Amino acid sequence: MRILLLCTKFSLVENDPWLTNELAEALQLAGHPTTVACLDWSAAANAPTVESRTNAGVRVIAMSPMIARSPLAFINKGLKWALSSIQAYRTLRRVLPDESFDLLIGFSPAVTMALPILMLTRKYKCRSFLIQWDFFPFHHQQIGLIASRIAFHASRIIETALIRRFDTIGCMS
């Protein structure tokens, strides 16, 4: 089974793994060729895409976020997520033009990879699995990252629609 994992956290340092690294490597070692597309929020904005392979053979496509400036903070975040999602999809279309996958794995918040989720689940016509490890936007509102009621309601509608694109949902908590 060929697997595409869409995430926002994946360590490129061999001895400093995240849960996403461990999952990808376990799948690869179990005989399932695994490709990771990571939209790395901690990378420098607008940095070039980096392609590499882990010691276990996992193919990694590390993309950086795009930054937009607006006088309103919640618009900045929305623009960053939307533009980064568009750029991630463009990059994946270019890097994976003729590839096919049997399983697409995504993580919450799904809104961070909205366009790749929407387009790639349609393109590959494969099974899809969402790992829900925080309850966006509810958790983000509780910790003060989303203060605007309008942004909260818009985020909730978009996240719900994206969650419904997945065949199966697993919860980390």
CA triple 111-112-117, angle to 5 deg: 70
First-residue to last-residue Cα distance in the chain: 27
- pLDDT score of 39: 93
**pLDDT tens per residue, range 99-121:** 999 999 999 888 888 999 999 88
Residue 88 confidence (pLDDT) above 80:
yes
- Chain-centroid distance, C-alpha 90: 14
**CB within 8 Å of 64: residues ≥ 6 apart:** 39, 40, 43, 44, 45, 46, 47, 48, 49
**pLDDT tens per residue, range 34-80:** 999 999 888 888 789 999 999 999 999 999 988 777 777 667 777 77
- pLDDT score of 173: 64
What's the pTM value of the predicted model, to 2 decimals?
0.88
Q: Are 20 and 12 in contact (CB under 8 A)?
A: no
